[in-house]
Each structure stands twice: as structure tokens, then as C-alpha cells.
Amino acid sequence: MAVKIGISACVLGAQVRFDGGHKASTFCTQQLKPLVEYVPVCPEQAIGMSVPRPPIRLQYNAEQQIRLVQTRDNSLDYTEQMLSFTAKLLPQLADLSGYIVCAKSPSCGMERVKLYDAEGNNLGKQAVGLYTRQLMQHYPWLPVEEDGRLLDPALKENFIARVFACYDYQQSMRDGFSIGKLVAFHSRYKFQLLAHSPQAYRQLGRLVAEAKLFQPQELQLRYLTELMQAMRQIASRKQHTNVLQHLQGFFKKVLEPASRAELSELIDRYRRGFVPLLAPVTLLQHHLRRYPNQYLQQQSYFAPYPEQLGLRA
């Protein structure tokens, strides 16, 4: 079963924007595409809006409700049509492991979408696209990112790590949730969690330890939601260094002094920004092949996503 990612159709190159154009993302159409199955959606076209079409925006009405209206004539209101379409579509998206939306769009934007008052005055970039707002409320655990933010290497790596972790969790629970499966999954993600959030690492550890106190369905959803929230935090160089030093500790009794010194030096060079994360991780994997350790071999930290994406280099 492929990793399924929802995506704004224009980000895949479909000419469905209000001006008849697209916002094709090179990363999405070239690097990521061979590794996933996309579910393209253009909510504006889906509710019957033409291509091209007059632009729309988010605007307060007299009752201070945010509405999706035509920019030049706010009496043309598409809010109910969009909400009706979204309500019908959302149940069909439960098997997605991520979603890439079009930035700044009044229907699809994830954040910083322009909002206007009832008189048409620009209140600034403080809204969320109507469609994406409903999506994130319905699936609070779903990794969602904007096309423009994927140009930032750290944000891109973070999003992809969340997508593949989400997919891994979904696959782990595909045939039914159990505490045993949860314990096994959490064990594999301990170091990855530690890199993203030491606090969440401890909190999720307590949640798993107290698993019998919760109803299975509640626990399954709560763990996934808290896991995805934790992984939204960018793993810093300092936190990665902490994880690398933890992993190094597993080899201190088996490595000869020269190899220990080499590994310590490489980790420190990563800490100081002289080499990419891939360098110490590769050396640790080399030692792991020489001195197998079942607990370490199962850690997702070593391969959080397909290496051909090159995100750690």
C-alpha cells in the first residue's frame, strides 16, 4: 500500500487556479512523486467555479462571520457550497498520511491568508483557508504543509518525516489496534521523538506506560495526535547531537579506542556545523553492521524516510 498524500491540484501542475495557471512544485512533481500516491483536489473547481474565474477572498460579514466571497462582489458567497463539499469529501480522506496545500489561497492556505473586514479593508494575513481549516479540524493528527514552505530545507525534512511516521503508524495498526503494537511502534520511534522534543519523548513514554487506563480507540487516536504534534517541532542540531551521543553509548564497550575517538570527533563536527547529519549517522550505521544490536537496528531514526530524497545531506 502506497503512502497517500492529499495535494492541491495546482501544486501538481493542473491549470485550475483563478487565472488559469498553476503552482507546480518541483519537489512534489519530481522528487516526491515516485514515492507516494497523490490525491489531488481543487476545492474551488470542485464546487463548480470556472477556470479562469474572478478571484475570491475571506471576508467578515455584518455578523462577524468569516465568509468565502468573490472579491469584486461580496454578495456572491461560496461559503456554504465549500462547507458542503468539504463535509462530503473529508470522510474519504481518512487513509491519507499527509497533505500539501497551496499557500495564500482563501480555500487552501494553511496559515497567513489575507482576511478582510465587512467594509473590504485588509486586516492582514491572519486566516486559514476555508477548506484547509475544516481538514485540519477533522484530522488534527494529519501532517499538513504548504507548497511554499517546502522550499525551506528544515520544514521540508520535518514534513516528510511526519508523513512517513504517520504512514508507519497507520500500517502498524492496519489490522487492528493493540497495546502490544503500540509498545513496539513507540520503541522504534524513541530516538526520533527525542530528536524532535525531549519533553514529548517523556510524555508519550508515560502515555504508553499507562496504556491500560484508556479505551483502545481513544488511546490509538491520542497517541497519533500527540506524536504528530511532537514531530512538528523542528529537530535542532543540539537535539540531534544529544541523540547521536545516546547512540554512541551503545558502542562504547565494543569499539576500539581509535574508532570511538573517530565517532566522537565526527559527532562534534556535526554539532559545530561542519558536516551534515548524514555523516555521523552513516558511521553509526557502519558500526551497527559490525556489531549488530536488535534494539538499535529497529530504530526509525536511522531511516525516517526513503534515502533517495536526500534530505539529510
**Amino acid found at 210:** E
Q: How far is CA 80 from CA 63, 85, 108, 127, in A?
A: 16, 8, 16, 18
227 and 242 together in one domain? no
127 and 195 together in one domain? no
292 and 271 together in one domain? yes
| Nearest by Cα to 238 from 212, 277, 203, 265 | 277
What pTM was estimated for this model as a whole?
0.95
The count of domains in the chain is: 3
SS3 at position 93: helix
Q: How many of the other CB atoms lie within 10 Å of CB of 309?
A: 16
Q: What is the pLDDT of residues 202-240, one digit of tens each?
A: 999 999 999 999 999 999 999 999 999 999 999 999 999
186 and 131 together in one domain? no
33 and 139 together in one domain? yes
Q: What is the pLDDT of residues 148-170, one digit of tens each?
A: 999 999 999 999 999 999 999 99
Q: What is the pLDDT of residues 4-34, one digit of tens each?
A: 999 999 999 999 999 999 999 999 999 999 9
* Residue 157 domain-assigned (yes or no): no
Cβ neighbors of 206 (< 8 A, separation 6 or more) are none
Runs of H (alpha helix) within the chain: 26, 43-46, 79-89, 130-138, 153-172, 179-188, 190-196, 198-209, 216-231, 237-249, 257-271, 278-290, 294-297
123 and 69 together in one domain? yes
Average pLDDT over every residue of 169-175: 97
Average pLDDT over every residue of 185-195: 98
Mean pLDDT of the chain: 97
* Residue 197 domain-assigned (yes or no): yes
What are φ and ψ of residue 58, in 5° steps? -95, 125
Q: What is the pLDDT of residues 94-129, one digit of tens each?
A: 999 999 999 999 999 999 999 999 999 999 999 999
128 and 208 together in one domain? no
125 and 257 together in one domain? no
Cα–Cα distance for residue pair 10/22, rounded to 1 Å? 5
- Which range marks the domain in which residue 253 is found? 237-304
